[in-house]
Structures are given as C-alpha cells and as structure tokens.
Structure 1
C-alpha cells in the first residue's frame, strides 16, 4: 500500500445582493486545515451578521487536526462555542438571532459534510451533481410528507422558514454525510441566495470545466443578473488528480492499494 495526495483548489465569494442593505452571510476557506464553511445569519440589522460571523470566527481556530475524528471533534467543539456565544448575545439583546451553517471537512482521503438550516452542500462527481445536504425547512418537510412537489416548493409562500439553526436553542442539532474523496470531485457550498435563482443543473454546468474562482464568479454574476433578492455566498472546493509521494498542504492524502 502506498500513499497518494490529491491537490485541492478552493475559492469563495459573498455579496449582499440587489435588495438587502446588509450582508448577513459569512464564509470560511481553510484548505490548510481541511475546513470550508458558509453561514447565513438571521435576526435583522446588526444581529444576523453577528451570528454568522461568530460561527466562522470560532471555526477558524480549529487548527491542524491529528486525524479525521479529531477534525470532527474540533469542529463540533468550536460550533458549540459559537452556539453559546450567539445565545448570550440573544439574551443580552432580548431578541432571537441565529445562523444556518453548511460545512465541508476533508482529511485522510475522506470528507464529512455537516449542516443545520437551508444552506447547502453539493457534490459534482463524474459531471453529475447531487445535493448532499437536506434542507431543514418547513417546505422540505412538506415535500417529505408528499403534500407538495419539488416544483411547487420553489414558489411556496413559506419556503424560507427553517427548522434548525445555530444559536436558537441550547442544544445543537446538525446532520452529516460522509464518504471517500475521489479525484475530480467538486464540492459546492452555498447559502440559499444562490439556489433561489440558480438550478442544480446550472450549478453543475458552471463548475465542471472552470477553476473554483471562475465558477464562483460566474455563479454570482448569474444570481445578480436575476435580481439577487437575498445575500448570496458560494464556496467551491475542487479536488485534483492523484500525485505520488507526500506533499505539504493544501493536499489531501489517502492510502492506495
């Protein structure tokens, strides 16, 4: 068994959009530590942005983990600290604030996607896109129960009502999916400002043959051209081809028989 390394390119963009006065989104791009995050704050002026920034600020202190389980443990510890901080701010101001979060962790040739709320993680593999995350929203629950269709959900009046978020309760509820990283994989993390205006097929088309920076900028331009009714944040992580030998970060190492 020998060791190979997969090169990693990543990029992120964030914009307040064409309607909102403030950008309450935050994001983190940390290829050296294998952490990428988007967060969409809620709570109004000088509140939502505080919540999303708290998440990103705490997750930026994860540092270099010793293993994939250690990375996951560090992530959950920092997210817990952010939750406590946001709860404290909510109590001091007498209001409820919070934030969605969608994160990609990558180490030792494996990935884990973790999320709360309606910010999403997509995987483009072999030129085919799939949504890894599953929205924590009222409208998704209606779809799951067969009350409305996915097509009806796009125009449903309460489609933006989320059922899970960081900072809204003492207990954190996050979902996760994990798997093996493959050469050529493209991960797309986004707040709902992207998916409100751009289809999954358009995300796939924009990412398969572009650099992460070009793909992010092209998707942002698409959203802005369509009215950008919300803040929009996009983080793209592209896994390169296998390389022999041990290489320093930002490379992901995995064993190969």
Structure 2
C-alpha cells in the first residue's frame, strides 16, 4: 500500500440503553486527524461518565500529526494525561473510577487499533468480520487458559469483569494491532452494550451494504429492541476505493454523529 489517502465516511451514536439512568459512554470521531474512539466509563453515579469524558477530551487535542508514528505518540501522550487526571479524581473522591478505551488510528495507508478493557474493534474485509481487539476480562483469560470454552464464556456469570482500564492504576496497559488499510474495509468500534445483544454475524450483515449512519442507527435500534441492558456506543468507519487513485479532497471526508 502506498501513501495515497483513501476516502472514507464515519459516523457515531451513543445511547443510555433501556435500563441505565445515565450514559457513561463517550466517543470521538475525528477524521481530520485520523482518530476514532469509544470509551465505557465505570465507577457509578457520574464517575464513569467523568472518566470516559476525560479520555475523549484529552484525545480531542491531538491535532494533525506529521506521520503515523507521530500520531500514535500523540495518542499515547494524551491517554497518559487522561489517566493521570482520572487518578486524581479517584483520589479526591476516595473511590476507584476508570474507563475502557478502544481506538482506531489511520494514516498513510495504515491503521493501528489500541484498546484497554472490553470495548472492541472489528474489521470487516471482503465481507468477513474479525475481532481485532481481544477483551481484557476475567472470562477471556479463562478461555485463553483452556479452562472454559467460547460457548461457556457467553453465559459466564462474571463475564463483564474487566482486568485493564484507564485510570485504575498509575501504569496503563494498552494492547494494539496494526496493518494496512484496504479499499472497502469497514471498522466497527463499540462498547459492550452492543455485543451483549448483537452477534458478530449480525454486525457484519448490518454494515456491509449500508452507509455508516444507517448501520449505526440500525444496530442501535436492534440493541434497544432487545432490551438495551447497558449503555451502547457504536462508531463505524468505512473506507472507499480511492476513485482515480489521487488523494481525496477534504470534502470527501465525512464525519457525523
């Protein structure tokens, strides 16, 4: 893949669901800087929302990077600042708060996905969906150790206990995967409020032939129709085919939500 930029569309939605009183999720759609983020706060009351908002607010200051490595360095710097801020809030309130984060960075024909917690990043390529991120949860560790099966994990009593998050310790544990961007790629970022009610196959079916806005809205409608037991946030990024092979004009980039 050369460094020619590909056109893309992106969209995001967030909803408190049918059960929760507050929405502790936040998201960021910044195509101009090549950054998309979802964050799922935890801590109760308004604390979870504060944690996820801190992540999004700091990441929104990244600006235009000079290269893909610079973009990642800026991301890690802002996330570190958010972690320190959340730690300070936790200490002042005498409680532990934090937030998951799942992010897509895209620049110069390449992508990087970074995450902590159980918010996810999916890639749909050639009409086939794959989960790029790997949940930081107790149940995923049991699966990795061969102690329970994937089918048992879906109904495990403590399946939502996460093992890593931003703001819960001085050091942030972030995993990442990277690769080349291909024409037609679709990236889906979501908090666990989506995957609690919608299967991977259903996510694929809802996104492959729809616009990002329609796909996000249809997936959200499905979650709510099935009871929406948690906050739900969905961000979708669809890569175009590049047209004539030239770098697209800025007005070809569309971001809403």
Shift of 1:246: 3.1
1:15 is aligned to 15
Deviations 1:22-73 (A, max 9, x none): 0000000000100000000000011000000000000000000000000000
Name the SS of the counterpart of 2:75 in structure 1. Answer: helix
1:2 is displaced (CA, Å) by: 7.5
Counterpart residue number, 1:203 = 203
2:122 alignment partner, SS class:
strand
Counterpart residue number, 2:149: 149
Q: What's the TM-score, normalizing by structure 2?
A: 0.96
Q: Quick one: structure 1 residues 2 and 76, their matched pair in 2 at CA, closer, same or farther if it must change by over 3 Å?
A: closer
Q: CA deviation at 1:3?
A: 5.9
Q: What residue number does 2:169 align with?
A: 169
Whether the 8 Å contact between 1:5 and 1:251 is mirrored in structure 2 is no
Task: Name the CA distance, whole Å, in 2 between partners of 1:250 and 1:111.
Answer: 21
SS at match of 1:201: helix
Offset at 1:247? 3.0
CA shift for structure 1 position 251: 6.7
Residue 24 of structure 1 corresponds to 24
In structure 2, stretches of 5+ residues that fail to align are none
Other-structure match for 1:228: 228
Between the two proteins, the alignment pairs up a number of residues equal to 252
Cα RMSD after superposing both structures: 1.4
CA contact (8 A) 2:242 2:248 kept: no
TM-score by length of structure 1 reads 0.96
Q: Would you say 1:178 and 2:181 are equivalent positions? A: no
Q: Provide the rounded CA distance (Å) in 2 between the counterparts of 1:250 and 1:76.
A: 29
4+ residue runs over 6 A deviation: none
Structure 1 alignment gaps of length 5 or more: 253-257
More strand by share: 1
**Equivalent residue, structure 2, for 1:246:** 247
